[in-house]
Amino acid sequence: MRPDLGAVPAGEPTDAALALRAGAGEQAAFALLMRRHKGWLHRFIRRHVSEPEEAYDLLQESFTSAWTAIARYDPERPFHVWLRRIALNKCRDRARRAMVRRTLFGLAGPAFKPLDVVDPAARPDAAAETSETMRKLEAAIASLPAQLREPLILTALEGLSQKEAGDVLGINAKAVETRVYRAKKQLAAVLDRSDLDDVREG
C-alpha cells in the first residue's frame, strides 16, 4: 500500500484487523483507522469539493457513515477502496443537493476555486503562467460530467489502478479505461477552446 493511503506502521494491526475489532464495537480501533486514513481521504474529497469547510464536513460524514457500516465491511477488500467509495457517495449527495437548491430556488452553488499548487519559489512570471494553466485544467476537470470526472480523478490524480477505481465506482476496469479516455478527450477539446479564446481576446 502506498504511504499516502494509510500504510500500516510497524507493529500496528492491519486495517482488516482493526475493522473487525471496530465491527465488534471497539471505538479505539476505529479511531486508529481514522488517524491512519484521514489525510489522504481529505485530499480526495478536496478534489471534488473546493470549499475547505465543506470538505471537512464531508470528511466527518464519511467517517460517521463508515463507523455505522463497519460491521458490513468485507476484510477481503482493501479498506481504502471501501472508505473511498463512502466518501465519493457523500460528494455525490452533496452535488445532488446543490443541484436541487439551484433548480428549486435559483441558488448558485459555490464557485469552483482551484487549489493553490504554485511553487512559491518559482519566478513570478512562471508562477503566474503555472497558476493560470492549473486554473484552466482544474476548471476543465470540474466541468466534466460525473461519470467521466470521477474515474479520471481516481486514476490520473489519485493514482489508483483501473481495477481499484472500478471497485470504488462499481464498474469494471474496462469501463474505467473507456471513461478515462473519453474524459481526456473532452479535456483536450475544452483546453483547446480555452487557448483559442485567449488568442482572440489578446
86 in a structural domain: yes
196 in a structural domain: no
182 in a structural domain: no
8 Å CB contact between 180 and 153: no
Residue 5: band (very low, low, confident or very high) from pLDDT cuts 50, 70, 90: low
Q: What average pLDDT does range 6-11 have in this prediction?
A: 67
CA distance 187 to 145: 11
Residue 100: band (very low, low, confident or very high) from pLDDT cuts 50, 70, 90: low
98 in a structural domain: yes
148 in a structural domain: no
Q: Please, what is the end-to-end C-alpha distance for the chain in angstroms?
A: 48
Give the C-alpha distances (Å, rounded to integers) separating 201 from 140, 169, 172, 191: 19, 40, 43, 15
CA 74 to chain centre: 22
104 in a structural domain: yes
64 in a structural domain: yes
129-188, pLDDT tens digit by residue?
Answer: 445 666 777 778 888 888 999 998 888 888 888 999 999 999 999 999 999 999 988 888
Q: What average pLDDT does range 195-199 have in this prediction?
A: 42
Query: Can you give the length of the chain in residues?
Result: 202
- Cell representation of residue 126: 512562471
75-99, pLDDT tens digit by residue?
Answer: 999 999 999 999 999 988 887 776 6
The parent domain of residue 72 ranges over 1-111
67 in a structural domain: yes
CATH number at residue 88: 1.10.1740.10
Give me the number of domains the chain comprises.
1
* pTM confidence score: 0.63
Residue 202 buriedness (CB in 10 A; 0-12 / 13-18 / 19+): exposed
